[in-house]
């Protein structure tokens, strides 16, 4: 589905046009909402879970935007009410080895494309962001979350019988500090907005995260010279990315070995059943 949210007469932008054509196939759309500011909107019902194709598409869109010098701020959002992203598509974890490898490689690439973006990125969270949904938010430079207490954010992997990969755990540590991250990781805590703000997992709460993110982008962030924003990001993220590239293959092997264990597969099937049971009770 294509979003044509061009709300002002912008100059012809071939890259964005190309993105819109690509986006018409699947579940992300890109639109320029203000000069230099692009919305990347996730719309993969019911819950924006990150399947192989969704990861690949989001990455592709980000890669095209990275090359577009006219865009210097990306606002990542969802158009599904109450949901930012439910994290990785759990059904992907039960696939054969070849597919698991492709899936994890696409997820790693998404991390590189979002965390490593030279543009300023803002996560506009109007709903929940568990696990890899939280990874998307942590990879952005700034996080605005709804104040609606139904929304939750955090790394709940342990409750599925798995653990976050080291690079995601590191993002959490970098954001909230080692001890809070450590407790959050083993407890699998999902935080309500006020709690998330209190520990620094999000930067702001707002009734309307999209409106606030656009205001921040235009009134505050665009006033800081673009090259200075990008250089500051490099200071804090380059070392992490370099390490990630060195460990990427080992991370892939570790994931496949871990996720294919019988005990882990049993836990994951149980978790999927819990989700289905919860839905049937509604
Ligand atoms: C050191 C070891 C390293 C090795 C690494 C190993 C593993 C990788 C580890 C970590 C990386 C990241 C992992 C993940 O992201 S795992 C996913 C975690 N996500 C969740 O736990 C979220 C689960 N979902 C929910 O809590 C809720 O659905 C929601 C998001 C709060 C929304 O609630 P709502 O009430 O609106 O919807 P429903 O619950 O009714 O769901 C609707 C529909 O969607 C299906 N669904 C929900 N979430 C997922 C999902 N993540 N994947 C696949 N499907 C999902 C749900 O089952 C319903 O489906 P149905 O067919 O019944 O309509």
How far, in Å, is the centroid of ligand 1 from the Cα of 160?
Answer: 9
pLDDT per residue as tens digits for the range 23-62: 444 578 888 889 999 999 999 999 999 999 999 999 999 9
Residues lining ligand 1, judged by CB closer than 6 Å? Answer: 46-47, 49, 82-83, 86-91, 128, 130-132, 156-157, 160, 162-165, 254-255, 258-259, 275-276, 278-279
User: Of all atoms in ligand 1, which is nearest to the CA of residue 168?
Assistant: 11
Q: Whose CA is nearest to atom 42 of ligand 1?
A: 46
Testing ligand 1's pocket by substitution, the residue of 42, 48, 86, 156 carrying the most ligand atoms inside 8 A of its CB is: 86
Instruction: Name the nearest CA neighbour of 154 among 201, 107, 98.
Output: 201
**Structural domains in the chain, sorted by start:** 14-281 (3.90.226.10)
- Structure tokens belonging to residue 29: 């759309």
Mean pLDDT value across residues 64-79: 95
Testing ligand 1's pocket by substitution, the residue of 42, 47, 78, 84 carrying the most ligand atoms inside 8 A of its CB is: 47
Per DSSP, the residues of 234-258 read HHHHHHHHHHHHHHHHHHHHHHHHH
Q: What is the ipTM for the molecules in this complex?
A: 0.98
Q: Whose CA is nearest to atom 29 of ligand 1?
A: 86
Check if the beta carbon of residue 186 is closer than 8 Å to that of residue 149: no
Whether residue 183 has pLDDT greater than 80? yes
How far, in Å, is the centroid of ligand 1 from the Cα of 16?
Answer: 31
Spatial distance between the Cα atoms of 81 and 35, rounded to a whole number of angstroms: 27
Spatial distance between the Cα atoms of 240 and 188, rounded to a whole number of angstroms: 23
Whether residue 250 has pLDDT greater than 50? yes
pLDDT per residue as tens digits for the range 100-144: 999 999 999 999 999 999 999 999 999 999 999 999 999 999 999
Whether residue 11 has pLDDT greater than 50? no
Q: What is the DSSP letter of 85?
A: -
User: Of all atoms in ligand 1, which is nearest to the CA of residue 276?
Assistant: 62
Note the pTM of the prediction, 2 decimals.
0.93
pLDDT at residue 28, as a whole number: 81
pLDDT per residue as tens digits for the range 79-92: 999 999 999 999 99
User: Of all atoms in ligand 1, which is nearest to the CA of residue 166?
Assistant: 1
pLDDT at residue 15, as a whole number: 52
Check if the beta carbon of residue 165 is closer than 8 Å to that of residue 255: yes
């Amino acid at each position: 589905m294509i979003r044509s949210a061009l709300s002002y007469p912008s100059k012809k932008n071939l890259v964005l046009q190309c993105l819109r054509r690509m986006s018409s196939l699947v579940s992300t759309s890109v639109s320029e909402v203000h000069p230099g500011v692009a919305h990347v909107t996730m719309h993969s019902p019911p819950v924006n879970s990150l399947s192989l194709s969704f990861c690949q598409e989001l990455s592709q869109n980000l890669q095209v935007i990275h090359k577009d010098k006219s865009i210097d701020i990306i606002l990542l959002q969802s158009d599904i009410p109450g949901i930012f992203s439910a994290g990785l598509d759990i059904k992907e974890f039960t696939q054969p080895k070849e597919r698991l490898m492709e899936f994890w490689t696409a997820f790693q690439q998404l991390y590189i494309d979002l965390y490593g973006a030279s543009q300023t990125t803002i996560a506009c969270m109007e709903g929940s962001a568990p696990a890899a949904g939280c990874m998307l938010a942590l990879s952005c430079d700034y996080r605005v979350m709804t104040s609606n207490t139904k929304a939750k954010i955090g790394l709940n992997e342990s409750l599925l019988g798995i653990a976050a990969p080291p690079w995601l755990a590191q993002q959490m540590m970098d954001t909230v500090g080692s001890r809070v991250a450590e407790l959050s990781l083993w407890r699998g805590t999902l935080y309500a907005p006020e709690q998330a703000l209190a520990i620094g997992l999000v930067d702001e709460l707002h009734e309307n995260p999209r409106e606030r993110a656009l205001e921040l982008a235009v009134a505050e962030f665009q006033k800081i010279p673009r090259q200075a924003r990008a250089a500051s990001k490099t200071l804090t993220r380059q070392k992490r990315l370099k390490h990630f590239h060195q460990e990427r293959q080992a991370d892939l092997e570790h994931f496949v070995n871990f996720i294919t264990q019988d005990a882990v597969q049993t836990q994951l099937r149980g978790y999927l059943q819990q989700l289905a049971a919860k839905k049937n009770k509604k």
